Every structure is written in structure tokens, then in C-alpha cells.
Amino acid sequence: MKILLLGSGAREHALARALARDPQTTELVVAPGNPGTAAIATNLNIDPCVPDEVVALATQMRADLVVVGPEAPLVAGVADAVRDAGIPCFGPSAEAARLEGSKAFAKEVMAAAGVPTAEAAVCTTEAELNAALDRFGSPYVVKEDGLAAGKGVVVTDERPVALAHGRACLSRGGGRVVVEDYLDGPEASLFCVCDGATVRPLAPAQDFKRLLNDDAGPNTGGMGAYSPLPWAPADLTEQVVREVAQPVVDEMARRGAGFIGLLYCGLALTSRGLRVVEFNVRFGDPETQAVLARLTSSLPELLHAAATGALAEAPEPVWSEQCAVDVVIAAPGYPGTVTTGGAVTGIEAAEELDDVHVLHAGTGTTERGELVATGGRVLSVVAMGATVEDARARAYEAVKRIGLEGAQYRTDIAQAVGAGGADGTE
């Protein structure tokens, strides 16, 4: 199978790793890719958000499957263009991608499908924003309506902070902001592979959104993750498929916007029961790094079945009994003004440890071939172990072997799990 994978982050490196190691993959091109994907695939520098460029490359390489990693190409209609060219594509149409591209649209779909979620108000004026803040009270949850790379949400007890974020959201292109009721309880992520009708869940995971230990500091794109979730209800996956993913896929089909691709269900396990925090329409980062590390069955076969409407006949995913922990190393200044250009060292030393691999996110090479940081999140360090505690210890031993001046990383990823608790409450 010839596969074209779009994107350049650690999520795409994790996808490329899972695709490349499968014997069904005969050729793998990553566009534009990163130094990590270059070691296991062919990188080609095109703009993944330009449909014509993607179609031209997929046609040239006679791709059997196109896999879209990031959200921006999906919202730009890349999946539509690829499918119009007669090439199977794992990724939703621009219309279906509105589940992530507009939180207001996602709320509308959830209401129609009867999916449990936080009560919310969509605001288009400052007066409406103030009224919503009054209505829901503290802690305030204020969300950018459109795409924000995982950093468009503010959860705060301070009304001036909530109001300032809401005003900033209103001032941007969409002119809308979503204010929600606060959801208590731990959060979890479940990825569901969909072909427009059938839903196949992957293994649940949990990520850590805040920059600092103990869920302090600003929101980020994610500072780490682990899988599986020993504390979660045994029937969590079945419940999410039954109450969330399948109803949403059915509702999208009813609207004539069949959902083909990855439905990311961000969940809160509240005192009042399961609630949806958000949807994404692609593999989540950093959860993908932990989830795919545990996948032992064929990823190309699964994604191709979804892209061709044959998911009901495809084998169920199979998982390693080992646990995986992913620790993100970020550049100085992230998630604000990032300092790039710092030398990255020690990856080979980290990977000398058993069951450890390092995934590239914001990296590049100089003219002399030196590896440097080029983005906010630089690396994902992934370790496997018999328990979450074992994987966690190995991941942090690997992190200590990596050098990047001023690097930031949390030291408490999955820490509470060893005490029988659940991490990641917001």
C-alpha cells in the first residue's frame, strides 16, 4: 500500500512510525514531515493545506491512501479534494470537520444527537458574554469558537481573565465565543475510527493540557499523556461509542455530511455522569503518541477500511498489555513567545533505553546537519512498561538524557496513577 501522510508534528511521526513498520506499507511519503519522519519515510515539502498540491502529489505517487494528520487541512477541504480525485482519504470533509472548526456547531450536533455535554451559550457581543459569565459563574470556562491549536480555552476563577479572553475571541475573525458550565471530574480522551456509519474505538488515554505541574499555568497543546487508564470504568469505551460517537456519526450522516476519519472525543467523567468536553476531527496530540505505541495490529489496514467504507468487515484493533507514557519537551517561552534555534542533543542516548522511542515535533536541521528546536513543542519522549509507573519511570530517565537549553517539561505526567488516582482534572 502506498500511503501519503500529511503533517509535520510528533503526532505525524507517531503515525508514520505505526504505518512504516507494517508490512502492508510499501511506500510512505510524509508532507512536509520533520527530521524524525525523514529517517523512516520520504519527506516532501508541500503545503498540506493547499488541496491542489496534495492531490497532485497523491496522484503522482499513485497513493492507495491519504492520511490527514492536522486539523487545518481538513477545514481547508483537502479531504474533499482527495476523494473527488478518486483516492481513498482518511479524514473528514470540510463540512464534517466543522465539529472541530466550530464549537458552536459541535454543540448544535450534540443537542440534535442527544449527546451529554456541558450546557453552553454562544456569544456574539460583549453584553452576551457578560450575561453568560453571570449565568454559569465560577470556575469560568471560555472557549474560542474556531481552531486554536488546543490553546483557545481558558478555565479560571478570575472573572477579569475570563472576560479578557472572551473579548479577544470576539475580536477575531469568527466574532463568536462559547461560554460553558464547568465540568468537574477527571478527563479522558477516546479516539474513534469512523467510515461514515461504523465506529471502531481505539484505546483510551489521558493528556495534560496545562504547562506546569499540578495543572497550573497556561493551556498548551498538551504536555504529556498516558494509556491505558487503570482508574477508568471498565465499560468506558463501550459507553462512549454508544452514547457519544455513534449518535454523532449517525447525526452527521443524517445531515448529508458523513463522518469519515478520526473522531476524537474529549470527555469529563463528572459527578453527574459522562460529558463531552470537545470534539476534534483528527488524531490528538499528545495522546496519539501513547495510544499508537500500544497498537499491535495493522494501522494501514484499519485506516484504509475506514476510508473505503469497509470498517464493519475490518478486524478489531489489538493492543499490547504494556502501558505507555509520553512526556513532551517544549522550547523556552512556550506557549507564549518561543525561543527557537537551540541545539537538541541526546536522542540516541535516550533511545538506548529499553522500550523508549523519541518522536520529533518542532525540530529542524541546520546547514551543518545539527538538530535544533524550531517550534514550541520540540519532542515527545515515549516509554513502555508493564505498569504506568514503570513506563513513567523509564520516560523520565530518557528525558534526562536529552539536552535543550531552557527546555520545559512537566515532572508529574501520570504521577497520580501510581497512587490509584486519576490525573488531568481541569
- Structural contact between residues 317 and 302, judged by C-beta atoms closer than 8 angstroms: yes
Q: Is 235 exposed, middle or buried (0-12, 13-18, 19+ CB in 10 A)?
A: exposed
| 261 against 175, higher pLDDT | 261
- What mean pLDDT comes out for the span 205-221? 95
Q: Is the pLDDT confidence value at 120 over 90?
A: no
Q: pLDDT at position 426, please?
A: 41
Q: pLDDT at position 425, please?
A: 44
**pLDDT tens digits along 262-296:** 999 999 999 889 999 999 999 999 999 999 999 99
**pLDDT tens digits along 387-418:** 999 999 999 999 999 999 999 999 999 999 86
Provide the H-helix boundaries in 180-285.
236-240, 246-254
Q: pLDDT at position 103, please?
A: 82
**pLDDT tens digits along 294-323:** 999 999 999 999 999 999 999 999 999 999
Backbone angles phi, psi at 173, to 5 degrees: -45, -50
Amino acid letter at 352?
Answer: E
Rounded distance between C-alpha atoms, residue 226 and residue 6, angstroms: 24
Query: Which residues, 6+ apart, have CB-to-CB distance to 109 below 8 Å?
Result: 99, 115, 248, 251, 252, 255
**pLDDT tens digits along 49-105:** 999 999 999 999 999 999 999 999 998 999 999 999 999 999 999 999 999 988 889
Domains of the chain: residue spans and CATH: 2-91 (3.40.50.20), 120-180 (3.30.1490.20), 186-313 (3.30.470.20), 323-404 (3.90.600.10)
Q: Is 397 exposed, middle or buried (0-12, 13-18, 19+ CB in 10 A)?
A: middle
- What mean pLDDT comes out for the span 220-227? 96
Q: pLDDT at position 124, please?
A: 92
Q: pLDDT at position 172, please?
A: 80
Q: pLDDT at position 102, please?
A: 85
Q: pLDDT at position 422, please?
A: 65
Query: Which residues, 6+ apart, have CB-to-CB distance to 58 below 8 Å?
Result: 4, 66, 82, 85, 87
pTM of the complete model: 0.90
Q: pLDDT at position 52, please?
A: 98
What mean pLDDT, rounded, does the chain reach?
A: 94
Amino acid letter at 360?
Answer: H
Q: pLDDT at position 176, please?
A: 86
Q: pLDDT at position 151, please?
A: 54
**pLDDT tens digits along 336-363:** 999 999 999 999 999 999 999 999 999 9
